[in-house]
Amino acid sequence: MAQAGGAGAGAWGRRGAGAGAGLERAPWRWAPALLWLAAATAAAAAGDPSRRQWPVPYKRFSFRPEPDPYCQAKYTFCPTGSPIPVMKDDDVIEVFRLQAPVWEFKYGDLLGHLKIMHDAIGFRSTLTEKNYTMEWYELFQLGNCTFPHLRPEMNAPFWCNQGAACFFEGIDDNHWKENGTLVLVATISGGMFNKMAKWVKQDNETGIYYETWTVQASPKKEAEKWFESYDCSKFVLRTYEKLAELGADFKKIETNYTRIFLYSGEPTYLGNETSVFGPTGNKTLALAIKKFYYPFKPHLSTKEFLLSLLQIFDAVVIHREFYLFYNFEYWFLPMKSPFIKITYEEIPLPNRKNRTLSGL
């Protein structure tokens, strides 16, 4: 299948600049473009039944495939990674909520003003006084996880979509504090930390791809949800839930997260790569999918970029069409007003699940 491999289970580390082939869509263009589309669509607003389990469960895998050489990150994934240490059971570990604007290392607080934030978790051992950072993010940057490459030598769209956990020693206080958040949310034992570390390894080995969109029927809280996102904030939330299951008590503080919504009627299942793009596939459907993704291609001139925005607006708002790739399968979304929305909403810290465990 035309899906790129990613880092192996041992790819734990810190993001940084790399010498990759630069296949990523320029973030300074597509992030504002996404916001422009959200604003423009708001202004413009005045399958197979046996498969329909909503929301569609995120598919997990037994292993990570090897990286495809075609997929190269503009910024190297986890360049200073280290194994998760084994803590002494009687150690006292402080757990920190970390949040900062996406691409803060390059653009400062630009995306922070728009509440487009990246989430991570910090740990501090009181016995060793060492700090650690743990996060989950894209191997080949966000654009490659959200839209495919249309390679002339391949009939099907080619996806460079993988996400993985990243663990490294140290917490960059300035990075998190200057434009974001660094706050203590819980205190756990070293034994709890070690159990969490085993869970993280399993979670990282089986949840291998990134999903940008949350898709639901309307902005109402009780609306039917079609697809869940799978991103940095969802990793943080899963980790918090695991710690609560192990007996951690979380502080009562407000915690907000960025989410990107698409709004549509009930999705229609279209098929996988083989059934759509294979020798016996639906050529009309295959062409329609590639035509939809064409405006999202990287390396556009300013003129091409502006033209692409108009094409995207025409497809999503005027014709109300969106083709979603989820679980390595294609779905058609009949788009509805307000079409797309970026929110920064509160998701409370979890309550302690296991009262029988001694906290420390």
Instruction: Dump pLDDT digits (tens) for 167-221.
Output: 999 999 988 998 899 999 999 999 999 999 999 999 999 999 999 999 999 999 8
Please check whether residue 19 lies inside any domain of the structure: no
Q: Domain total for the chain? A: 1
Query: Where does the chain have alpha helices with state H?
Result: 27-44, 104-107, 141-146, 173-179, 190-206, 232-245, 273-277, 283-293, 302-313
Residues recognised as catalytic: 118, 232
Tokens of 249: 């008590």
Please check whether residue 341 lies inside any domain of the structure: yes
Please check whether residue 145 lies inside any domain of the structure: yes
Please check whether residue 149 lies inside any domain of the structure: yes
Give Cα 284 distance to the centre of its chain.
31
Query: What pTM, to 2 d.p., does this model score?
Result: 0.84
Please check whether residue 20 lies inside any domain of the structure: no
Q: Which helix (H) or strand (E) holds 322?
A: strand 321-326
Q: Report whether 332 contacts 57 (CB < 8 A).
A: no
Please check whether residue 61 lies inside any domain of the structure: no
287 contact partners, CB below 8 Å, separation of at least 6: none
Please check whether residue 55 lies inside any domain of the structure: no
Q: Please tell me the predicted confidence (pLDDT) of residue 35.
A: 52
Task: Evaluate the CA torsion angle 151, 152, 153, 155 in order and state its sign.
Answer: positive
Question: At 136, is the secondary structure helix, strand, or coil?
Answer: strand
Q: Please tell me the predicted confidence (pLDDT) of residue 103.
A: 82
- pLDDT tens per residue across span 241-268: 999 999 999 999 999 999 999 999 999 9
Please check whether residue 327 lies inside any domain of the structure: yes
Give the domain extent around 192.
Answer: 92-346
Q: Which amino acid is at 124?
A: R
Residues of the chain with pLDDT under 70: 1-51, 354-360
